Amino acid sequence: MDWKSELNECISRLAPDKVVYLTDSNVVRYLDIPEAIVVPAGEPSKSIAGLETVWQGLMRAGATRHSLLVNIGGGVVTDLGGFAAGTYKRGVRHINVPTTLLAMADAAIGGKTGIDYCGLKNEIGVFKMPERVIIDASWLDTLPQELLRDGLAEVVKTTMLGSAAMYDVLLDLPERLDADSLRGATEFSARFKEKVVAEDPTEQGLRRILNLGHTAGHAFESLAARCGHPVSHGEAVAHGLLVTLILSSRFAGMDPAAAGTYASRLLRRHYSPLPAGALDEEKLLELMARDKKNARYGEVSFVLLRAIGQPIREAVVIDKASLCETLRQYRSIMS
Amino acid sequence: MDWKSELNECISRLAPDKVVYLTDSNVVRYLDIPEAIVVPAGEPSKSIAGLETVWQGLMRAGATRHSLLVNIGGGVVTDLGGFAAGTYKRGVRHINVPTTLLAMADAAIGGKTGIDYCGLKNEIGVFKMPERVIIDASWLDTLPQELLRDGLAEVVKTTMLGSAAMYDVLLDLPERLDADSLRGATEFSARFKEKVVAEDPTEQGLRRILNLGHTAGHAFESLAARCGHPVSHGEAVAHGLLVTLILSSRFAGMDPAAAGTYASRLLRRHYSPLPAGALDEEKLLELMARDKKNARYGEVSFVLLRAIGQPIREAVVIDKASLCETLRQYRSIMS
């Protein structure tokens, strides 16, 4: 079903006294909506200024506690709109219509909302579940390849956690990504994340598996930025997933061939190698040790897989020597 | 137990990794605390600027998701601090130590937090329950009579809802209010409100009884402000409670003598008559009809009592003619 029909059906069911739309300056050109709150496209809208734009738009529209905010856009719009909806009159309902692959697979789902503050990402926000996240992969054809590759990493991550069959589909993706080839896996990813979040909305346990690939991924991302050759979040996570697969074959019984298959058919096909400066072993270890997701400072823990589609719920602590060997194996696979 | 001992006990139990204190420029002089975030006393601190002061104070203190914010002050501090706690890193725990009678009996309890925005009170906020509200009536001796009378109305309201015995204590209050005479009823009010809120945190049903006296009270408050003779919220509610008692005797079987007793022993002893301009029948009816708590526009509904301590859970709709008669009866009792 296309997003408009699904949205209309959802609005009928929720019966709000008023519907207010929020979008950004890029997405608004694709919309045929009489009136919308429009924020500038890009991360700076996740700010107090952006928040005030949405609050004032809601007030101007005469929104009450029984109204509905529909956020149509990427992660910036759904994070910002969700936070505004969570705080306007102490909470009005909202629906997310993600228009980027990253937002469909990740950002728009799960109720984490917020803005950046004093240079820190998502420092201020609330947990506020959307009434519905409407996934329509047709939006993907409005995006440049670069943004599709960025979002693909989260889709790959989710299928690795949730479905060996869907993961196999991704192994056969064409080099040039498009809506048709991504549709099935995108919908699967969104619904899988919804399911995980429903079981553990405030990240006390199960939800942690969604960090698959992110411990190493964040370290790569930080180090690449620090050495003056920044890479996108998706690119960093894509490389982090290879580290995870190697660790999983060493410590969780995963078939060792999986790492090679992933590297040749997904990682190398869609992503560039990391800049050399992002591979410094000592610095990577230090960054991973500081990851806020570790239970204890300095003890680096990872979400691992027994096999594709079979995550281990409890994070596994990996010692420094094993991590070094794993990073060396990563480099030999990538070289 | 005094508030410091109770707070220390509570902090031990919660075991936060850091404790941050928020207070205002009036209350800070009574505190013996090494460091605190201090906002200017008064309503303007319930603003984005006030919020940023608290967020930045939390950041400067290095507060994490496992830290604790302790709000020590009146309703402005507990509303603002609760909202900041509800949004900093998507939520850290908080404790309220109310220092005014109004905050002890009402504002600090129940998890409604927020700031004023674009001239509208509490327009932006979240529901965020404090871990604990620490009631120590000794604070009341730091307050001027005017503020005590303002808070007294909410204490009277709560005892009317919850305890005939406690209400009888209030009938004997000395004209000059102090901590000792108010201690029992204040503690009762706080715990009663906590109980009601625990049953109905988001105001779907039972919590509505806490609006006792507020339909007429808000109308008096608005009209008095409009005619250039503003009265305090507590003063307006105190008069609203008399209207409620009259309605209760007409429509809910309450002893008709109750209105007279209330007027002579509470209302006239502690509050001035309303300014003449705040008694315009037509305007009052119009204001009550627009109250956002009415189920349907134009249908004025009230929380009523069968007797002191026996509220009716369902709001009762009162027709216009009966309302007019009730207002006339109110005037004759007050004259």
- Which one from A46, A132, A149, A207 is the annotated catalytic residue? A207
pLDDT value at A278 more than 90? yes
pLDDT digit string, tens, across residues A53-76:
999 999 999 999 999 999 999 999
Q: What's the pLDDT at A295?
A: 66
Nearest CB partner across the interface for B48, out of A48, A120, A127: A48
Nearest CB partner across the interface for A89, out of B56, B113, B123: B123
For residue A52, which residues of chain B lie inside 8 Å, CB to CB?
Answer: 48
Dihedral sign computed on CA atoms, order B252, B258, B259, B265:
negative
DSSP A197: H
Residues 6+ positions from A138 with CB-CB distance below 8 Å: A2, A3, A179
- Catalytic, A66? Answer no
pLDDT digit string, tens, across residues B94-104:
999 999 999 99
User: How many residues are listed for chain A in this entry?
Assistant: 335
Structure tokens at A113: 């909302």
With b meaning 16 or more CB within 10 Å and e meaning fewer, what string describes A122-143? bbbbbbbbbbbbbbbbebbeeb
Structure tokens at B171: 């009938």
pLDDT digit string, tens, across residues A134-190:
999 999 999 999 999 999 999 999 999 999 999 999 999 999 999 999 999 999 999
For residue B55, which residues of chain A lie inside 8 Å, CB to CB?
Answer: 117, 123-124
Query: What is the predicted ipTM?
Result: 0.91
- Kindly determine whether residue A88 and residue B124, on different chains, have CB atoms separated by under 8 Å: yes
- Which one from A157, A233, A239, A270 is the annotated catalytic residue? A233
Dihedral sign computed on CA atoms, order A226, A230, A233, A238:
negative
For residue B52, which residues of chain A lie inside 8 Å, CB to CB?
Answer: 48
Q: How far apart are CA B335 and CA B273, in angstroms?
A: 9
Q: What's the pLDDT at B297?
A: 66
Structure tokens at B44: 């303007």
Stated pTM of the model: 0.92
Helix residue ranges, H only, B121-213: 145-162, 164-171, 179-199
pLDDT value at B295 more than 70? no
Residues 6+ positions from A78 with CB-CB distance below 8 Å: A71, A96, A98, A103, A107, A108, A113, A130
With b meaning 16 or more CB within 10 Å and e meaning fewer, what string describes B63-75? beeebbbbbbbbb
Q: What's the pLDDT at B34?
A: 82
Q: Phi/psi of residue A133, each to 5°?
A: -115, 115
Q: What's the pLDDT at A223?
A: 95
Q: What's the pLDDT at B158?
A: 97
